Structure 1
Amino acid sequence: MADSTDTVTTPAPRTNENRSTTPASSVFKEYISSRWAERTDAMPGAREQASFAAARRERLSELYPGQRLVIPAGRLKQRANDTDYAFRAHSAFAYLTGWGSDSEPGAVLVLEPRRGGAGHDATVYFRERAGRDSDEFYANPEIGEFWIGARPSIAQVASDLAVAVRGIADLDHVFTVVDTETLVLREADPAFTLRVDEARLRFAAEKVLNNNASDTPFSLEVNDEHEQDARLARDLSEMRLVKDPYEIEQMRQAVAATARGFDDVIRDLPRSSSHARGERLVEGVFNTRARVDGNTVGYDTIAASGPHACILHWTRNDGPVAPGDVILLDAGIELDSYYTADITRTLPVNGTFSDVQRRVYEAVREAADAAFAVARPGSVFRDVHAAAMAVIARRTAEWGMLPVTADEALSPENGHHRRYMVHGTSHHLGLDVHDCARARRDMYMDAVIEPGMVFTIEPGLYFQPDDLTVPAELRGIGVRIEDDILITADGAENLSAAIPRTADDVEAWIARLQA
């Protein structure tokens, strides 16, 4: 990577003054700011999701009459020294603006209540590009166009998102008066939230002084405001439980891209299985598809072969992919809109399940099918998990692993069968791989399933290699089958049904792609 300098109008957060080689003479500054072609900025039309984002803002506005709502996109996060992770805006910001992988670090959405009327006026604030007469243009490695490429103008973003847009400097008005009517999405940008909290304290202190109540005990606690902020985060999660038509189409596209990634992995299995760290090759092949067909992976790919398949979130991916083992691939592609798939398939490395592997695999598929049968409008979300668990309990009891009957294991005070599947069967899916995580339990786990919900069904069986309750021939086998489903008016659609699921179909899939 090239070095950078700290001779900037707006300094980057981590400068490199001790190794800067950027010229700083007045002659250089004058020369580099001259003789540039005039910018010819094309005005984009409003993106497809702009109208959906506007409707979401209106729904949020109805929940908070008269209150200012502040939703930051977040900032770059440091990886090491002066290098950062790739920026990803907070999902709530993306949901309310439609700005995805092309969003700008440090941007903030403000919903300002209208004076004397209902509703809010929405404005996006972001750091506009520097003029070519500014040293920020060439010397700031965080935002300078010499370093990161062309950046959009305020007018372009306003046209693209179909929302009012202003420069980041204009955001200071938010901190002029920050009272109990100003709420912020706290987790999105901790530094910004700290400024809000400091402004709240100043406002509270000034209020005490203005009321001539200096003898009244004054507390610096802002717990009430924090509780209101938490309510905002909760409501933004719950709004996303039911997807709109744009979101559903994005989910279809994310699943289709993920299916292509699985095909790529299978085609490359002979190469992966010949390398000492074959799991890394599997991960790399899938991630290549994610970068070609989407923004990136929606979460760290799990490429778990052999006994690693028994580790639920194995992401080190540094082991071999040995013929005779199965490899559990849990992966999803995130589109530029940030919507992600989440699919798992368990594949025999050499193309054929052994009898023992097939037995475990088909038991897991039976559990998934039982969960599918329950996933329909009017059912309770937790009943999907219960249906899968009934199969897991029955099969592990049949195989002699439980010290009690299946029915006894299923009683709330027991749960012996959960030793072999400690995770849940389903979670909501969308902008986040574990979507809507701030929703209340009665809106999530105990909620009635509605059309438009998208969630996973992912039972599994994991027999640790040193688990003495497991028959020896099953030890070291881990199987998970995960699909993404959409609840429809009269049932459920398996969005990932085109990716083979049965043991026979998986073997045929591998044979076809490796022929």
Structure 2
Amino acid sequence: MVTDNSPAQSADPAESDIKDRVNNRSHRPNSEKFKEFMTSGWAPRSDLGAVPGPFAAYTPARREAVSARFPGERLVIPAGALKVRSNDTDYRFRPHSAFAHLTGFGTDQEPDAVLVLDPQVGFDGASAGHEALLFVRPLADRDSEEFYADARYGEFWVGARPTLDDVTKVTGIRAVHIDTLSDVLAKDLGEGHVSLRIIPEVDAGVESLVEMLREQAGLAGESTADLDAELLEALSEIRLVKDEWEIAELREAVNQSIEGFHEVVRNLPRAVKHQRGERVIETVFGAHARLEGNTVGYETIAASGEHATTLHWITNDGAVRAGELVLIDAGVEVESLYTADVTRTLPVDGTFTDTQRKVYQAVLDAADAAFVAAVPGARFSDVHAAAMRVIAARLEQWGLLPVSAEESLTPEGQQHRRWMVHGTSHHLGLDVHDCAQARRDMYVDGVLEPGMVFTIEPGLYFKADDLTVPAEYRGIGVRIEDDVLVTADGNENLSAALPRTPEDVEEWMASLLS
């Protein structure tokens, strides 16, 4: 990596600190002759060819849903800022999911941007919805120092950003310069006038600006935290039901994830030969995700043998051994930032042992029962309950429960959860655990509607040192996870093309390993 030069001046203390550190080692020339020569002699920029994004027909309805929840209030939805990874290098940027949902921006687009829903008043003085304004840092002229000297934002370092007109064309939202943000947020603030809400903990600089403006307008106080939390809550809840475009993006994410699993199976022999075979699996899937999408939607779990009993095993430094199972929990995030979340537990050598098959079939039966329950009008919690009835019954049948399945399933019991401590489902979308800030009565106790997308992922995990189970079970972890779309008359398993039954898994693996 080339060494970067001084960033432009910033009001952000953290960014200023980066500037100071870079200046200590900077070799950037500062002569006036250099500046004059550097900023001249460039051909006119070519047109970036900005056109409306495919999402632009859908985002207005999303913004209107937010507007209806907060009439007369100014709403601030930041994309977020670049985050330092090490010294003066940043992580690859990903906009906040609420910002992406309401604007359509994906990949690593527009750090520091801020969407503002500005309240409008009709001729009768009543609330008339909101105007959407998108505050961005536009492309700087080539006669500016930013062009060649700003390693975070300069065109010479990170490429050309879109102009204000480009942003407006792509998103359908009026784009304005980020430098005007403070003036717009301050307009008409105060008791009896306009109040401010902001998504908390996304952009520290913008949040500090909002707090300062609230204080100046006499709006500061303990209640502002509740106001902001309510905004975040609402932005989660409007994502519970996906629109047509979102479902298409999720289909693509799932399809690419399935292709990633094919690649993993093809590379299992290489994983077996490597001392860190789990990392072979991780990198094979990650390469596919980066080539065919944006990246992985979350850190890949490649858990072989006893590691599969650790629910979120992401160290992925273990060996992959014939005769054992490997649990792979992975999802491709496409460029719109929608992600899949799929898990398969595979016999490394292509064939289940009798005990492995027994545990696998129990988990599959629990998943199938959950699918039966995942229909419009049912409650989200019904899906989990259906899976748990199968898990408890099977554990009782095997003689592992200290009580009956019926007693274990009571709220006072729950002994069966020793071997499955996680939930069966979570919503899926822009976040792998989507809509997580929604109220309980909208989520866990919510009623299923067509357009909802979530996972079904029961499992059984018998740790190697669990003395409550016979030795034959110890060290076996199995999870089967699919992505389900609720439809008008039932549901659709979006990941059904990836084999699920033990017989189909063995046949599929044989076809790829032969």
Question: TM-score, length-normalised on structure 2?
Answer: 0.95
| Cα distance in 2 for residues equivalent to 1:192 and 1:71 | 10
Q: Which residue of 1 aligns with 2:496?
A: 497
Amino acid at match of 1:501: R
- Residue deviations 1:211-256 (CA, integer Å, cap 9, x gap): xxxxxxxxxx622222111111111111000100001111110000
Separation in 1, partners of 2:172, 2:212: 32
Q: Distance in 1 between matches of 2:186 and 2:408?
A: 60
Measure how far apart 1:311 and its partner are.
0.1
- CA contact 1:7–1:135 (8 Å) conserved in 2: no
SS at match of 2:121: coil
| Aligned equivalents of 2:91, 2:454: Cα separation in 1 | 28
Aligned to 2:142, the other structure's residue is in SS state: coil
Cα distance in 2 for partners of 1:185, 1:144 equals 28
Q: 2:60 aligns with which of 54, 69, 90?
A: 54
Q: Percent identity?
A: 56
**Structure 1 partner of 2:467:** 468
Q: Is the 8 A contact 2:182 2:209 kept in 1?
A: no
Matched with 1:215 is none
Aligned to 2:226: 227
For 2:25, which of 5, 19, 28 is the aligned residue? 19
Superposed counterparts of 1:290-329, under 5 Å? 290-329=289-328
Q: 1:216 matched to which residue of 2?
A: none
The counterpart of 1:204, out of the listed 196, 218, 243, is 218
The answer to whether the Cα contact below 8 Å between 1:68 and 1:111 also exists between their aligned partners in 2 is yes
CA distance in 1, matches of 2:158, 2:109: 13
**329-338 vs 50-59, which moves further:** 50-59
Residue 34 of structure 1 is matched in structure 2 by 40
Comparing 394-403 with 262-271, which one deviates more in the overlay?
394-403
Match for 2:181 among 168, 171, 182?
171
The answer to whether the 8 A contact 1:10-1:140 is kept is: no
Which one of 188, 191, 198 corresponds to residue 202 of structure 2?
Answer: 188
For 2:159 and 2:49, how far apart are their aligned partners in 1? 18
Count of residue pairs brought into register by the alignment: 500
- Per-residue displacement from partner, 1:248-271 (whole Å, max 9, x unpaired)? 111110000000000000000000
| Structure 1 segment 333-412 matched on structure 2, within 5 A | 333-412=332-411
8 A Cα contact 2:95 2:108, kept in partner? no
Q: Secondary structure of the equivalent of 2:218?
A: helix
Q: 1:42 Cα shift?
A: 3.7
C-alpha displacement of 1:438: 0.7
Question: In terms of mean alpha carbon deviation, does 6-15 or 354-363 score higher?
Answer: 6-15
Output the amino acid matched with 1:106: D
What is the one-letter code of the residue matched to 2:210? Answer: V
CA–CA separation in structure 2 for the residues paired with 1:439 and 1:190: 23
Alignment partner of 1:114: what SS?
strand
Q: TM-score, normalised by structure 1?
A: 0.95
Determine the structure 2 residue equivalent to 1:79: 85
What letter is aligned with 2:205?
A
- Indicate how the Cα distance of structure 1 residues 32 and 258 shifts in structure 2: closer, same or farther if over 3 A, else same: same
| CA distance, structure 2, for counterparts of residue 9 and residue 25 of structure 1 | 19
- Structure 2 residues without counterparts, runs of 5 or longer: none
Q: 1:70 aligns with which of 73, 76, 91?
A: 76
Give 1:7 shift. Answer: 6.8
Deviation at 1:317, TM superposition (A): 0.4
Helix, strand or coil: the match of 2:94? coil
Q: Deviations over 1:197-221 (max 9, x none)?
A: 122112218xxxxxxxxxxxxxxx6
Contact 2:119 2:131 in 1 (8 A): yes
Distance 2:73 2:260 in 1: 45
Q: 1:6 Cα shift?
A: 2.2
Q: CA deviation at 1:191?
A: 2.7
Does 1:133 pair with 2:146?
Answer: no
Indicate conservation of the 8 Å contact 1:279/1:305, yes or no.
yes
Instruction: Look up the equivalent residue of 2:39 and give its one-letter code.
Output: S
* Secondary structure of residue in 1 paired with 2:77: strand
Would you say the 8 A contact 1:9–1:136 is kept in 2? no
Equivalent position amino acid for 1:4 in 2: D
**Offset of residue 131 of structure 1:** 1.2
In structure 1, distance between residues paired with 2:71 and 2:414: 46
Paired residues of 1:129 and 1:153 also in contact (CA < 8 A):
yes
Q: Residues 8, 68 of structure 1: CA spacing in aligned structure 2 closer, same or farther, 3 A cutoff? A: closer
Aligned equivalent of 1:270: 269
State the distance in 2 between where 1:10 and 1:421 align: 49
Render the CA deviation track for 1:100-143: whole Å, top value 9, x for unaligned: 11421000001111133511111101111221111111111100
Secondary structure at the counterpart of residue 422 of structure 1: coil
Matches of 1:360 and 1:389, distance apart in 2: 14
Query: 3-state SS of the aligned residue for 1:69?
Result: strand
**Cα contact 1:425–1:458 (8 A) shared by 2:** yes
Q: Is the 8 A contact 2:7 2:151 kept in 1?
A: no
Partner-residue secondary structure (3-state), 2:46:
coil
CA distance, structure 2, for counterparts of residue 61 and residue 247 of structure 1? 20
- 8 Å contact from structure 2 (residues 6, 151) kept in 1: no
In 2, the alpha carbon distance for the partners of 1:473 and 1:4 equals: 57
Q: Which of 135, 138, 147 in structure 1 is aligned with 2:157?
A: 147
Q: Is the 8 A contact 2:147 2:154 kept in 1?
A: yes
Hey, what's the Cα distance between the residues in 1 that align with 2:321 and 2:69?
Answer: 55
Deviation by residue 1:1-38 (Cα, 9 ceiling, x = unmatched) = 21122274559541201110111111111101010001
CA offsets per residue over residues 395-445 of structure 1, 9 Å max, x none? Answer: 111222111111111111011100000000000000000000011111011
| Amino acid in the other structure paired with 2:204 | P
Out of 98, 102, 121, which is 2:104 matched to? 98
2:458 and 2:479 in contact (8 A); partners too: yes
Deviations 1:31-73 (A, max 9, x none): 0101000112244221110111111111211221111111000
Q: Are the counterparts in 1 of residues 482 and 493 from structure 2 also a CA contact under 8 Å?
A: yes
How much does 1:157 deviate?
1.0
Counterparts of 2:85 and 2:99, CA distance in 1 = 22
Determine if contact 1:9/1:134 at 8 Å carries over to the other structure. no
Deviations 1:457-478 (A, max 9, x none): 0000000000001110110000
SS at match of 1:486: strand
Whole-angstrom CA distance in 1 between matches of 2:486 and 2:415: 31
